[in-house]
Structure 1
Amino acid sequence: MLFDHLGAAPRIHPTAVIAPTAVISGDVEIGPECQVLHGAVITAEGGPIRLGESVIVMENAVIRATAANPVHIGAHTLVGPMASVSGATIAEEVFLATGTRVFNGARIEARCEVRINAVVHLRTHLAPDTVVPIGWVAVGEPVQILPAERHEEIWAAQQELDFPGYVFGLDRETPDLMVQLTERYGRSLARHRSDRMLG
């Protein structure tokens, strides 16, 4: 299903194959020979999304751009089933395995592998050929790659990266943080009220 969002319609190369149950919304450009499989969602929430040649987006993956963080995915990259990419730049020949999470402002260079259920956190930079092991977390710049059980170290790096400030423009110490966050984000998402399904 294709949707016009905020006056922008997806642009899909004629050689790309889009499953009928995939959702593509807004300022999205899908390059030649791409494959977008069933249940995938590619949504440009105020910022553009660009998929290079021969990118594969597998079942139930989610790719989301924001006004502050567009998405670029380089040629010959695979986004695995149930993976999530939010506002990140991903170079060529990258493998994002099943269940991976890549957050706003992350930069993943060429030929990296982010393995099953691994995380590349907010504003984290992976140099070319970096591997994030199964279930591990890559965080910060310079990057630290840590197993999930080293939560205290991950949390220390995450605090400096300031997720609520960077993504939502809110101070983590705000007493009613989740009230403000959900109201602000809800107003932004309400722009979908005017979306039009295309052909």
Structure 2
Amino acid sequence: MQFEHLGASPRIHPEAVIAPTAVISGDVTIGAGCQVLHGAVITAEGGPITLGDNVIVMENALVRATATNSVHIGSHVLVGPMTSISGATIADEVFLATGTRVFNGARIGEHSEVRINAVVHLRTVLPPESVVPIGWVAVGDPAQLLPPERHDEIWALQHELDFPGYVFGLDRDTPDLMIQLAERYGASLARHRDDRRID
């Protein structure tokens, strides 16, 4: 399914294959030889998304751009099932295994691997040929790789990256943070009411 969103329509190379249950919305460019499998969602929420050539986006993966952070995925990249990419830059020949999470402003260098259920956090920079082990967290610039049981160290680094401020423009100490966040984000997402299906 393809949708025009905010006046922009997907541009899909004729050699790309898009499953009938995948959703492609807005300012999305998909290169030659790409495969987007069932249940995948590629949605440009105000910023563009570009997939190079021969990118595979597997079942139920989510690729989302924001007005602040576009998405660029290089060529010969595999985006595993149930992986989530939000506002990040992925270089060529990167492997993102099942269930990985890549957050806003992150950059992953070429020939890197992010293994099953690993996280590349907000504004984290992974140099080329990095490996994030299964279930581990990459955080910071330059990235530090930590197992999830080292939560206090992860939080110390993550706190400085200011997720609510960077992603939602809200101060973490706001007393009604979740009320403001949900109402502001909900208003932004409501722009989908005017989407138009084009396929």
Structure 1 residues 43-54: aligned runs within 5 Å = 43-54=43-54
Q: Distance in 2 between matches of 1:15 and 1:142?
A: 37
Structure 1 residues 46-125: aligned runs within 5 Å = 46-125=46-125
Structure 1 residues 180-199: aligned runs within 5 Å = 180-199=180-199
Q: Which amino acid in structure 1 is aligned with residue 67 of structure 2?
A: A
Q: Which amino acid in structure 1 is aligned with residue 102 of structure 2?
A: V
Q: Distance in 1 between matches of 2:36 and 2:7?
A: 23
Shift of 1:142: 1.6
Shift of 1:93: 0.1
Structure 1 residues 13-24: aligned runs within 5 Å = 13-24=13-24
Q: Distance in 1 between matches of 2:15 and 2:45?
A: 25
SS of aligned partner of 1:129: coil
Match of 2:172 in 1: 172
Q: Distance in 2 between matches of 1:78 and 1:142?
A: 24
Match of 2:4 in 1: 4
SS of aligned partner of 2:24: strand
Q: Distance in 1 between matches of 2:143 and 2:198?
A: 42
Matched, 1:161 2:161: yes
Q: Distance in 2 between matches of 1:92 and 1:142?
A: 19
Q: Distance in 2 between matches of 1:143 and 1:27?
A: 30
Q: Which amino acid in structure 2 is aligned with residue 162 of structure 1?
A: D
Cα deviation, 1:7-42, whole Å, max 9, x if unaligned, reads 000000000000000000000000000000000000
Runs of 5+ consecutive residues of structure 1 not aligned to the other structure: none
Runs of 5+ consecutive residues of structure 2 not aligned to the other structure: none
SS of aligned partner of 1:180: helix
Shift of 1:141: 0.7
Q: Distance in 2 between matches of 1:142 and 1:36?
A: 31
Cα deviation, 1:26-72, whole Å, max 9, x if unaligned, reads 00000000000000000000000000000000000000000000000
Shift of 1:143: 1.0
Q: Normalising to structure 1: TM-score of the pair? A: 1.00
What's the RMSD between the two structures over aligned residues?
Answer: 0.3
Q: Distance in 2 between matches of 1:3 and 1:47?
A: 15
- Identity within the alignment, %: 79
Q: Distance in 1 between matches of 2:142 and 2:112?
A: 16
Shift of 1:6: 0.4
SS of aligned partner of 2:7: coil
SS of aligned partner of 1:179: helix
Runs of 4+, deviation exceeding 2 Å = none
Q: Which amino acid in structure 2 is aligned with residue 138 of structure 1?
A: A
Q: Distance in 2 between matches of 1:174 and 1:159?
A: 15
